[in-house]
Structure 1
């Protein structure tokens, strides 16, 4: 049962999204409307199909196409003559070959323009090429072992930009992600991610390492510990460090800061900085989910003393197909009273 309408309402706004289908169950149109502060903003999406290829044309409210659609209704979809490309805010063209996306073009009224092309070997994508409005060509080459991605190298105007290598456990779970940059003629390890799993092969922790003063240092940790229907998430990092990691050495990093008019930061990010910088926990959240995996309770915890700082409850109701029908969100006051703060309603096609 595909989704046909979604409504979100809180004390400040009302948002609706409608999705329209043809008899082939293809999406032929979308209408999104946001009402807030006495103003209304909308966006209409019209889909044009030509075999397996299609175009997505978007219009803002105030255009002739948007006005015609909202006055005549969705029955105009599939007909011609009531909208024009000239007044569209954006146009995206998607080209397929035997069910595989091989090209994509995008342009909008703000002047942005991109073209994407994809090539495949043995059923897997081996390259992505992007051409920007100014002629910049970005190419990404992907290397596989079977269907397992081993590396991804990016070139901008035929010049090497970066390469990411992927390492796996014996059970094919991703264990490390290594990013290499180039300094003069040599590649160096700029950053690294390490992934840790529980006995059920669920991701529990991600450690982020970044190069600072020619060495890798742990600067961010993301955790999600699962216990029954409860998920405990913690996010720890060294403040401000992420914006300066990845450079070959301190001299290279300082040169970068000066080019970015950040001379003031050179004296801060010196050789001693990393010896005293420590991870700090900034986010600690506990979520409880129902049997369908949707959140029923969220608790924002104090990162140091584990006291509950805020609490939100969710009432999830499902239809006879076990599809989510509506969600009512309640914020819990300091007195323990649950006050409705928002509602989200879902409608489905029969």
Structure 2
């Protein structure tokens, strides 16, 4: 009866993470025998940012990290707000970020699947592929193949990326312990604010797809728009963090938002967490935009949810023991934004007061 009720209420009732958990359970049962025959073993199973296979017994090499990311037009990107070249770059960046999140796996090669409407301009397809190639080449990734199919409406991009990583460097999302500090690289909210700026420009019919409009330049929002169109990954930072002891105890990337990261890591470790919003780094450009829509950080209208739930920054969110943080800070610049604790649930605090409502981040369903 329980399964029938889940089916009746559809994917929105099951939720993205519920769907992922169902797929993970089924795929683990199906793949265990094949892995045993190949001589490989699973270090990090599917369900994390990337699966990690120990193939040293079979190939005498490092572990393999494998990840697939899919982007759908109208869900993950809008070709009216960014160039096709930007779409190509961003799709590869998302996959490299998954390599970073698993402990700094060095990407080697990828395969690309494209679903494309028949009426799309060939020049646009060329620009999309040029962006893919440029982003892959920049990080030494070889595009070794893929597939293309016809789409009835939207562009769909699916990339599977394979990298290599030393087993000692692998970091799972569920390794945090109570008392570990929650840390984050970079600033949050820029990409989400950039998207809102572009959406506002489109409504006022002042948007040029590939360039910043005069209004965006005049208000100093170019950095926010660039963060949305061309986010950067943190692979180098991940490699530095995991190169030697001490290492992070858990790690993810913030593609779905800071709130989603903390919630997923705390759930995987069977812990609760607290996040202090005033400790989350914000760029000057974001603060300038936020002041245009609110009276300041203490104003109830201040876009704190954009900071915590906006996503698409591709920053690293990780945990570390308090005594390990000083050593890690000598390698990489980051901020401490919260703490893992015993119990359940994630509380977002502002000046000592718990913020109302549930803070979740982006979910597909």
Q: Same fold (TM over 0.5)?
A: no
What's the TM-score, normalizing by structure 1?
Answer: 0.22
Q: TM-score, normalised by structure 2?
A: 0.22
Quick check: which one's helix share is greater? Answer: 2
Larger radius of gyration: 1
